[in-house]
Amino acid sequence: MVRFLGRDLANNKKIKYALTAIYGVGLSRAKEILDLAGLNNADDTGIRTKDLSDEDISNLRKVLEKNYRLEGDLVRLTNLNIKRLMENGSIKGRRHRAGLPVRGQRTRTNARTRRGGKKTVAGKKK
């Protein structure tokens, strides 16, 4: 079992897909990381996580820690950015504070994830 930044990577997955389990790493960044670590052929041959040598694992760990902001650091940075927007009093910050969609989506219908579940309204009296 390979462990990077507090995450266990799946043993049976190809390494480029296993790296996407790390917060902040998508498929394109995973390919970029493999290139920087010197595992260029891992993309073509489909090397699985369990087949990596100790040297490959140490190269990957060095690349991840040196070149990228991932996992806890990235979450902290994102939260600080949102907090800054809220303190500025910007439109985006106000929307975050009110729990409404931030990026211009409509709220008359939809927006159930941000606004919460549907509230029932009493029926009309006969």
Whether the Cβ atoms of residue 90 and residue 84 lie closer than 8 Å to each other: no
Please tell me whether the overall predicted TM-score, pTM, comes out greater than 0.85 for this model.
Answer: no
CA 2-30-53 angle, 5° bins: 35
From 53, 68, 83, give the residue that closes a domain: 68
Are 22 and 60 within one domain? yes
Please check whether residue 28 lies inside any domain of the structure: yes
Q: Scan for tokens 């043993």, then name that residue.
A: 11
Are 20 and 56 within one domain? yes
Full pLDDT tens readout for the chain, 126 residues: 888 888 889 889 999 899 999 999 999 999 999 999 888 776 667 789 888 889 999 999 999 889 889 888 999 999 999 999 999 999 999 999 999 999 989 988 888 888 888 877 777 777
Please check whether residue 42 lies inside any domain of the structure: yes
Q: How many secondary structure helices (H) and strands (E) does the chain include?
A: 7, 2
Please check whether residue 124 lies inside any domain of the structure: no
Q: Which domain holds residue 20?
A: 2-68
Are 8 and 59 within one domain? yes
